[in-house]
Structure 1
Amino acid sequence: MIICPVCDHVQPEGTECDVCGKRFPTAVNVATPPVAQLPELELTPHAGGRDAVDAPVLPELDGTRLRSGPDLPAQVVQDLELTRAAPTGEMPVAALEELDTGRAQDDGVRTPAPLGAVTCRYCRNVQAVGLLCDNCGMRLPRARIAATSVAAKGEEDGWMACPSCHTRGRPGRACSECGTRLQEGA
């Protein structure tokens, strides 16, 4: 893969960038000259894995390796504060009246669902129909049909609303969206 140094466009091959037109440097095939060995260098060939090396332990070196057996008995540090608390038992839980939940009192006014022409929140294109914006392709904020109107419409033509997802379906069959069995009178 080639990455353009100007616009960071990634492309599989080519001599220039498909986006900005920057020409890529071409590799020059130059034959590498033969390398002569220096006569003063000592060759240290190593064949077949690890070789045995005679390495005696230095007597003046302090060994810090732990022994395999128990070295010392565990000691309790008197001044160490333990983070584990003792069980407290049953404590009464009371609500805090002075705690502000950050919610205002409900005034009953609701924001109406967007009906008719909708403005795309990304490109500000105004569009009357469709779920996707014709300009940028993003999803438009459309309101779904209320479950009560779906149920009322379903009673007229033999369809009913799914009790789980409110998708219209035929009674006695599985819902096409969630798979719940649609039963009459439910």
Structure 2
Amino acid sequence: MTETSKNLIAEYYALHLGELRAFVAKCTGSPADSEDMVQTIFLRLLQTDKMISAVTLPCLVYSAARNIVADYWRHRKSVERHETYVKSHCDCGTDSGPASVYAPAEIMQLLERGMARLSPKSRRIYTMSVVGGMRVSEISDTLGVAYKSVENRLGAARKEMRRYMSRMLA
């Protein structure tokens, strides 16, 4: 990235930070999360190899913002689906005592045992994705492994973990 592009991004950041933060906060409904999302947008812009000009920068910024907001809602939907699944498969309604629900420590132990069953490469990829929150492309770059290979290993690891957790929580 050229020094001119960096200066252009820095100037845009200084002038439009509040505006972009308000846009993201309105789209997500979460002012606290919007701060992090806006920082991520500008970090990605500084790391990009694309040619940036004063004309293209606003478009790039708002395209990145829309993509990050979409990722945020996709993640929220996934979390809600998981919570609904857990609630519907737990007999919490019949016996609400502490023995009727797994303690978080017990679930963590089950997860750790399940992850220990994965191959070392799959375990590392699964951990980077699920625990670290990294995307497949980021994992691929970090490990120097082909994108498709990471994608396949992650899919297999997720499937194995679902099977294991279903068996153990049944």
Normalising by the smaller structure, the TM-score range is under 0.3
TM-score (norm 1): 0.18
Q: Is the radius of gyration larger for structure 1 or structure 2?
A: 1
Structure with the higher helix share, 1 or 2: 2
Structure with the higher strand share, 1 or 2: 1
TM-score (norm 2): 0.19
Structure number with higher relative contact order (C-alpha < 8 Å, ≥ 6 residues apart) = 2
